[in-house]
Structure 1
Amino acid sequence: MIFPIVAYGAAVLRKVSQDITPDYPGLKTLIDDMWETMYASNGVGLAAPQINKDIRLFVIDSLQIFENLEDDEKGVYPDAPGVKQAFINAHVLSLDGEEWAYNEGCLSIPKIREDVMRAESVTLQYVDENFEPHTKTFNGITARVILHEYDHIEGKLFIDYLKPLRRKMLQGKLNDISKGKVKIDYKMIFPK
């Protein structure tokens, strides 16, 4: 099932999400539906708040990014060929390395892309779909995608990293998104 994506301005996008237990109703189906929704929306990551669920769950597929790199970009990122994975109850243990800029976008904030500074690597504690615990360090593009989705379960958006003047310049576009005045090729839920 393909879920509609929650648009900028919805309260769920600003809420800190809750950990879940292994008996969370329909978890396997929910994760399958999140993959389907992410791919149908041409995303590389999707967090549960973006489908109106305030739980600590997100999926990422950075493999797609590596498949679409230009020749001069190949070999630049240390995390090739990327990662396709679901993360449940993720919590950041540490951020390491130099911050670097990369142009980010978000399915909940369509048609806006901005350079965002993020750490080179992130160490996460999380459980997988079988509720097996993991502590793992990710770097490069994969770390960036993870941190972007992790922000969603913490009630943060990529635009929060922008300088105040830049945010002010984007406010008209953000208001249009929250009012549903944006043309996109996937279903969205707009705030009331």
Structure 2
Amino acid sequence: MAILPIIEAPDQRLRVISKPVESVTDAHRTLIADMFETMYKAPGIGLAAIQVGVAERILTIDLQRPKGEVTEDTDPDTIEYVREPQVFINPEILWESDELSVYSEGCLSVPDQYADVDRPARVRAKWLDENGAEHEAELDGLMATCLQHEMDHLNGVLFIDHLSKLKRDMVLKKLEKARRARAA
């Protein structure tokens, strides 16, 4: 397994529309393992293949709940997580609720920037797993939000595209300022 470089906005590769996976291969399974390792290291809860430069319709998601109690005084490096990794290949949303939920979203391709985004609170989706098996389920809460966020990546859309132009420009300016500070 390998840690892959994550592409950051405003890189135009993030605007590429990803192609469907024709059949799941061992190369895809290796990519998926690398995506999980990259996502956990970042750290994040979701990653689309396009974020690591692969324009295929593959997502990894793990909402990772902390094991045990976590307080303000807990050293982040000592927190253990319950991991439930999920793979979504060629995901499709079949239905979405009229009810919306607001979540403060962030993105590994827009590091350290967060903004409230409205999305359907529940969705019914279908997808393939890493073995090519078909799945269909109704998802809600953070999983529904995360799936929609990651699926946006497959269509060349970033969470900041859901913001007003003013807010989006502010986020991009903050991102550029942080990038310059890291480079200095």
- TM category (shorter chain) comes to 0.7 to 0.9
Structure 2 matches for 1:33-52, cutoff 5 A? 33-52=34-53
Aligned CA distance change for structure 1 residues 149 and 57 (closer, same or farther; 3 Å): same
Residue 28 (structure 1) aligns with: 29
Q: Judge which range, 36-45 or 123-132, deviates more.
A: 123-132
Q: In 1, are the aligned partners of 2:111 and 2:175 still within 8 Å (CA)? A: no
Superposed CA offset, 1:140-161 (max 9, x none): 1111111111111111100011
Structure 2 matches for 1:62-81, cutoff 5 A? 62-64=63-65
> What RMSD in Å do the two structures reach over aligned CA positions?
2.5
Q: In 1, are the aligned partners of 2:24 and 2:130 still within 8 Å (CA)? A: no
Query: Cα offset for 1:83?
Result: 5.2
Unpaired stretches in structure 1, ≥5 consecutive residues = 71-80, 185-192
What amino acid sits opposite 1:38 in the alignment? M
Q: In 1, are the aligned partners of 2:24 and 2:132 still within 8 Å (CA)? A: no
What amino acid sits opposite 1:62 in the alignment? L
Residue 54 (structure 1) aligns with: 55
SS of 1:181 mapped into structure 2: helix
What is the alpha-carbon distance in structure 1 between the residues aligned to residue 164 and residue 67 of structure 2?
29
Residue 139 (structure 2) aligns with: 138
Residue 170 (structure 1) aligns with: 171
What amino acid sits opposite 1:105 in the alignment? G
What is the alpha-carbon distance in structure 2 between the residues aligned to residue 35 and residue 106 of structure 1?
15
Residue 93 (structure 1) aligns with: 94
SS of 1:9 mapped into structure 2: coil
Residue 77 (structure 2) aligns with: none
Aligned CA distance change for structure 1 residues 118 and 23 (closer, same or farther; 3 Å): closer
Which of 1 and 2 has higher RCO (CA within 8 Å, sep 6+)? 1
What amino acid sits opposite 1:41 in the alignment? A
Q: In 2, are the aligned partners of 1:12 and 1:53 still within 8 Å (CA)? A: no
Superposed CA offset, 1:60-108 (max 9, x none): 01133797888xxxxxxxxxx9953000011111211411211111000
SS of 1:160 mapped into structure 2: helix
Residue 118 (structure 2) aligns with: 117
Q: Percent identity?
A: 36
SS of 1:21 mapped into structure 2: coil
Query: Cα offset for 1:23?
Result: 5.0
